[in-house]
Amino acid sequence: MSDVKTCPTCGAKAKYKVIGDRESFRAVQDEEAFKKIGQLKKAMEKFKAKAEALEKELETLKNAK
């Protein structure tokens, strides 16, 4: 993931990189942010589904004994 910092010139959130001995700030675009948020939501849903499946499996194993 990109390092996000506040731009010292304009005060907006920006992607931060150091290229050689020079600092580079590039404005974060709304579309980029929405895309990342969408990716994170999908990943969280997958994790949630796996966790629920494991909880069900654990419950069935507990009941079997």
Q: Can you give the pLDDT at residue 45?
A: 94
The string of pLDDT tens digits covering residues 18-39 is 888 898 888 877 777 768 877 9
| The two structure tokens encoding residue 64 | 């079997």
Average pLDDT on 8-23 reads 85
Fill in the amino acid letter for 21.
D
**Separation of CA 12 from chain center:** 20
d(CA 58, CA 14): 44
Residue-by-residue DSSP string for the chain: --EEEE-TTT--EEEEEEETTEEEEEEPPHHHHHHHHHHHHHHHHHHHHHHHHHHHHHHHHHHH-
Q: Can you give the pLDDT at residue 57?
A: 95
